[in-house]
Amino acid sequence: MPRTPAHRSRVGSAALAAAAALLLGLAPAPAAQAGADGEKAAPTLHELADRTGRYFGSAVDNPELADTEYANLLGSEFGQTTAGNSMKWDATEPRRGEFDFTQGDEIVNYAQSKGLSVRGHTLLWHQQLPDWLTSGNWTADELRSLLKNHITNVVTHYKGKVVHWDVANEIMNEDGTYRENIFYKTIGPSYVADALRWARAADPDVKLYLNDYNVEAVGAKSDAYYTLIKRLKADGVPVDGFGMQAHLALQNGFPNQLRQNIQRFADLGIDVAITELDIRMILPSDTAKLARQADWYGQVTRACLAVERCVGITTWGYSDRHSWIPGTFPGEGAALPWDENLRHKPAYDAISAALSAAAKKEDRQH
């Protein structure tokens, strides 16, 4: 998941985006609005996904809600949202035992006003932890107590308000070994099962996920999660889903066997979600890069649609106007299906086409 502060950089300039839009003939964004002659509005991405029994969503961060045009389009085009930063530990428990849900509640209230479901993100992660926690010299029992208290309080507060929780985020290294975060180094690998059990005790109805990046392809890291989830299930630990973040980059190649990888996790008896999708490129963008990006967005969408237990797709933001990419990967960007002016890019059309084909197939079957 993005390792970034709440205030994020923007891609390029509005002037460049406008020029690119004219050059590439990009379509205007408000697909949900009726045409001038009152013809039926084009269905939104979520409406199409919903016809297949899935959701299509976008993450949002609190400062973005102040961008009224952006927030309104988010609320009309999507059916789900994820709180980008405001439910992380540094935001929810900035001081030991003192909880602050102000920002998270703002996201939830916005989502409820727009009819969006909410994904809780995240109960434990090795980043964005408060100083009081990372600077402490805790025993294993002390840290277990702190972790249990944090999870119990946060999950209880949002009980009935979120449908999924990313319980443990980014707990594996690229080679499939455990990341040596504060929890692993102090408690050992049992902290993962403990966290899932505590979350289940606090909200028996919410779906509990493990979530990570670079797990879309079959490889050492996804294999490690497959083995872990299989073992957790065998031990009766409550794990309901696996989140594949899908922060992809054109220069790194498309993840091999994505659909097959989604399927093998589904075959463990859990749900799978694409949780943080974006597809960045080395700037400047051009027609060829945008076409390749569109192809990849279509491939990811079709891979999810091909697996019954792939429950939905969330992009990490939806417009290049508000993207974490340029601030984290200098010289890269243009990662999302809408440009800075909230106009559709070819990626939007590819997603819409994939969803529309699946929705029509679903309609024919019923």
Tens of pLDDT, residues 329-339: 999 999 999 99
> β-strands 332-333, 271-282: how paired?
antiparallel
Q: Assign 2 a pLDDT band (cuts: 50, 70, 90).
A: low
Active-site residue flag, 106: no
Tens of pLDDT, residues 208-253: 999 999 999 999 999 999 999 999 999 999 999 999 999 999 999 9
Question: Which backbone phi and psi does 91 adopt, to 5 degrees?
Answer: -85, -35
Does residue 83 form part of some domain? yes
Does residue 132 form part of some domain? yes
Does residue 183 form part of some domain? yes
| Given the residues 93, 170, 332, 340, the one annotated as active site | 170
Query: Domain range holding 112?
Result: 44-365
Q: Assign 8 a pLDDT band (cuts: 50, 70, 90).
A: very low
| Given the residues 64, 77, 216, 276, the one annotated as active site | 276
Tens of pLDDT, residues 29-43: 444 444 444 567 899
What pLDDT shows up at residue 38?
52
Q: Assign 1 a pLDDT band (cuts: 50, 70, 90).
A: low
Does residue 170 form part of some domain? yes
CATH number, residue 167: 3.20.20.80
Q: Give CA–CA dist 339/264, Å, rounded.
A: 35
Does residue 33 form part of some domain? no
Does residue 11 form part of some domain? no
Residue 329: how many other CB atoms lie within 10 Å: 15
Active-site residue flag, 69: no
Q: Give CA–CA dist 120/125, Å, rounded.
A: 13
Secondary structure letter of residue 273 according to DSSP: E
Overall number of domains in the chain: 1
Q: Which residue has the tokens 């879309």?
A: 216
